[in-house]
Amino acid sequence: MTLSSWTEKGPGQTLELMFAADEDRLAETLVAFANSDGGTVLMGIDKDKAINTDLMLEDVEDVLRLALIQCRPGVRTEWQRIEIGGNPIVAIRVPRSSELHSLMDGRVVIRSGAKNRPLGGDEIRHLAATKSSGDFETEGVNGATLDDLNPEIIADYRAKRAERQRRPISSDDMSMLLRAGAVTEDGTPTVCGLLLFGHEPQAFLPQSGLIVVRFAGTELRGPGGLPGYSRREEITGPLSPLIEAAWQVVWEEMRVAAVVKGLVREEKGEYPSFAVREALVNAVSHRDYRLSGRRIEIRMFDDRMEVISPGGLPGYITVDNIVEEHFSRNPRLVNGLFQWGFIEELGLGIDRMIADMVEAGQPLPEFRDTPYSFTVILRNTRIRRATPPWESSMNERQIKALSYIQEHGRITNREYRNLCPDVSAETLRLDFVDLTDRGLLLKIGAKKGTYYILKKAPA
Question: 107-163, pLDDT tens digit by residue?
Answer: 999 998 889 999 988 889 888 877 755 578 999 999 999 999 999 999 999 999 898
User: Three-state DSSP class for 331?
Assistant: helix
pLDDT at 39: 92
Query: Lowest mean pLDDT: which of 5-14, 324-333, 364-373?
Result: 5-14
Query: Lowest mean pLDDT: which of 34-38, 59-63, 343-347, 440-444?
Result: 343-347
Class of domain 208-379: alpha beta
Q: Identify the CA nearest to 255 among candidates 273, 272, 268.
A: 268
Q: Identify the CA nearest to 89 among candidates 98, 97, 80.
A: 80
Alpha-carbon distance of 351 to 357, in angstroms, equals 10
List the domain boundaries for the chain: 3-118, 138-206, 208-379, 396-454
Alpha-carbon distance of 254 to 118, in angstroms, equals 43
**Do 208-379 and 396-454 agree at the fold level?**
no
Q: Where are the beta strands (DSSP E) in 126-205?
A: none
Question: pLDDT tens digit string along 264-285?
Answer: 555 667 899 999 999 999 999 9
User: Three-state DSSP class for 334?
Assistant: helix
Classify domain 3-118 at the CATH topology level: 3.30.950
Tell me the pLDDT of the chain averaged across its residues: 86
The matching CATH number, chosen from 1.10.3720.10, 3.40.50.300, 1.10.10.10, 1.10.540.10, for 396-454 is: 1.10.10.10
Q: Identify the CA nearest to 241 among candidates 198, 273, 279.
A: 198
Q: Which of the four pLDDT bands, split at 50, 70 and 90, describes residue 386?
A: very low
Alpha-carbon distance of 212 to 117, in angstroms, equals 38
* Contact predicate 285/330, CB 8 Å: yes
**3 CB neighbour count, 10 Å cutoff:** 14
Alpha-carbon distance of 280 to 246, in angstroms, equals 8
User: Three-state DSSP class for 117?
Assistant: strand
Q: What would the mean pLDDT of 180-206 be, rounded to a whole number?
A: 96
Beta carbons within 8 Å of 305's beta carbon, 6+ residues apart: 250, 271, 276, 279, 298, 299, 377, 378, 380
* Contact predicate 441/432, CB 8 Å: yes
